[in-house]
């Protein structure tokens, strides 16, 4: 039961930024988004990947590596659309 | 070393939504924010609290309970300012 709840929790926190990324890519507007939120989150999930590698815990590595990619894309999109 | 990196990673992912919350409370505009991102994240961190309680892991409980509060405030602010 713990494993099920932990897995669902992990999937949800990992995919949570996807709706935001889709919205940004669709509307090309980032006016009310905080780049610092994205930057702090990106640093955090990157360190989780390092932690996962150190402990060889694959669920931590995979879910956070996925978050790293989503947040890098979001940060690039942010600065791309912010310029306009 | 692992504990240090894990702790910093946990703190960063926990506090990452604070800059976004401050920005929303200051500017009272949520046009480009995805409510689904907040809702998915809130569900995820809530389940992490449940997981932490089940396993009696206090660092998981405390950091995610903190995220729950930040995200509830952000979601309330979202629907409050979305109305305008």
Q: How many CA atoms are closer than 13 Å to the CA of B74, on its beta-carbon side? A: 30
Tens of pLDDT, residue by residue over B42-79, are: 999 999 999 999 999 888 899 999 999 999 999 999 99
Per domain, the residue ranges of chain B are 2-82
Of B2, B37, B50, the CB nearest to A20: B37
Nearest-neighbour CA in chain B from A42: distance (Å): 8
**The pLDDT of residue A1:** 87
CA gap A34, A66 in Å, rounded:
21
Answer yes or no: do B50 and A5 touch at CB < 8 A: yes
Of B9, B13, B51, the CB nearest to A2: B51
pLDDT grade for A84, boundaries at 50, 70 and 90 = low
CATH architecture of B2-82: Up-down Bundle (1.20)
Contacts of residue B12 in chain A, CB cutoff 8 Å? 40-41, 43-44, 47
pLDDT score of B83 more than 90: no
Nearest-neighbour CA in chain B from A82: distance (Å): 12
Tens of pLDDT, residue by residue over B1-23, are: 889 999 999 999 999 999 999 99
Residue from A80, A78, A76, A83 nearest A32 by CA: A78
ipTM given for this complex: 0.90
Tens of pLDDT, residue by residue over A6-56, are: 999 999 999 999 999 999 999 999 999 999 999 999 999 999 999 999 999
**The pLDDT of residue A2:** 86
**The pLDDT of residue B2:** 86
Answer yes or no: do A32 and B31 touch at CB < 8 A: yes
Answer yes or no: do A32 and B13 touch at CB < 8 A: no
With beta carbons less than 8 A apart as the criterion, state whether A46 and A30 touch: no
């Amino acid at each position: 039961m713990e494993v099920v709840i932990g897995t669902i929790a992990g999937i949800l926190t990992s995919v949570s930024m996807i709706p935001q990324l889709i919205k940004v890519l669709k509307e090309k507007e980032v006016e009310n988004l905080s780049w610092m939120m994205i930057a702090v989150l990106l640093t955090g999930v990157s360190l989780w990947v390092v932690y996962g590698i150190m402990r060889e815990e694959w669920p931590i590595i995979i879910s956070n590596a996925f978050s790293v990619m989503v947040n890098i894309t979001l940060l690039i999109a942010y600065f791309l659309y912010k310029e306009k």
